[in-house]
Structure 1
Amino acid sequence: MYLFLCNLCFNGIIGASAFYPKILHDILFDSHVITYSGCMTQIFFIFLYVHCEFTNLTVMAYDRYVAICKPLHYHSIMTIRKVWRLILLTWFLSWMECIIGCVLLARLPLCGVDIDKLYCSNWAVVKLSCVDTSLNNLYGLILTFLNFSQAIIILISYVNIVKASLRSQAGMRKFMQTCLPHMITLANCSISVFFDSMYAHYGSNNSLLALRNIMAVEFLVLPPLVNPIIYGMNLNQIRKTVKTFFKRRVVALS
């Protein structure tokens, strides 16, 4: 479980690093221009962050399913070797999805230069193309199907987890401690990405612009900040350290 959490946090750093430097540069120098190579680089790493996030959350759902539904067989099923294989598979699939997506994007000639977002995104650049983008649209549908399949795996895992947790109070406590943070992270990422994707494809450029910008950056800003807190507070050592710190502060203020 802890290796998956480290992987999730590391991926959050990648997503934040793809967004923060450029937005800080724009704010400090009042510049809203980016080079084509810089735009493609930002698209690649944000693309990588999103797909790796979903794949890692899917693997974590399977891990929680084994831990709660088959606790006596957990260590025989989720061996260290298998955990590392799942992590490597997560990164391999995410890299392949991003490389293929960026190659399909890079082949398109562009007839415009204005991107109606705070950062470069795949669909925003596709809309600037003046040639047929059917292949890009088909690949987008394939990725949507893959993400939907991952969502089905997560849903099945949690249906079985909830059933197993309701059988005992200890199981419900374990569910609240280990699965609830995962569900919060999953819901936050899924809602933000789904809203941004639907708005990019079907929304108007002038309607709900403020809400669109908030949702567009929310999944890049909040998870890297919130995930370490949500999951870190489940670790006894961290929780005890935080409690001790606040107790000392209360005593000092008294």
Structure 2
Amino acid sequence: MTSVDLNADMGESYGPWVMGQDAALLEVITSANIACGFHAGDWDVMAATMRTAVSRGTGIGAHPGFPDMQGFGRRRMHVPPDSLRNLVAYQLGAARALAQTAGGEVRHLKLHGALANMCAEDAALARAAYEGALSVDPEIIVMVLAATAQQEAVEALGCRWAGEIFADRAYNDDATLVDRSQPGAVIHDPEQAARRMVEMVQAGAIVTESGKRIPAAVDTICLHGDGKTALEIARSVRGALEGAGVTLEVFSGRTGAV
């Protein structure tokens, strides 16, 4: 029987400024990637989001990014490897502390935005980021953009990992995401997103814009919550997967190559 996890990035509000539809998404997903206060979020938002996730039995993940609130972590930055290790370790440490106060634990880590995209292109950079996380928790599951340099890094490190695909993003032929500035990069049609996800999960492959199929570890699907049709997409994807006989459950992680 085929199974898959559904994840979403959240906890990205700041003080009275609300970002996303976290409460509604937590009714759809099985894993939550919670911002750690650098690209978005703050300590109160982190704590509140984690309490809700714990109450729902949702898997908690740390979602570290560049220290760039104004740019929402989507602007590329040059951070030396040693500093990047510390940057990721710092954010994971904060997430672990607040998860503990909420009665839960951080079980996975997913990089955010420009940091994630850069690590999808550069295995050495990805390795530095993941080494920072593993220095804090050697058993943490690293969520990676499937079939990219991120996956190359975790396979080399021998750590636990899970492969991720995106419901609402188009793919290049190298398995990286089409840049948001390009037409069609972000998918807004719930039915289109749902069809794509059923196809990719059943095929165990990423289907690119050109129609190319890239065999991939499809362990989890990212559902965003900050677009006009994001919640509709999340619900449509879940419904389509369940209709296709796919079981939805928190990923357990894997080791080694696919």
Q: TM class by shorter-chain length?
A: under 0.3
Greater share of residues in strand: 2
TM-score, normalising length: structure 1: 0.25
Q: TM-score, normalised by structure 2?
A: 0.25
> Which protein is richer in helix relative to its size?
1
Which one has a bigger Cα radius of gyration?
Answer: 1
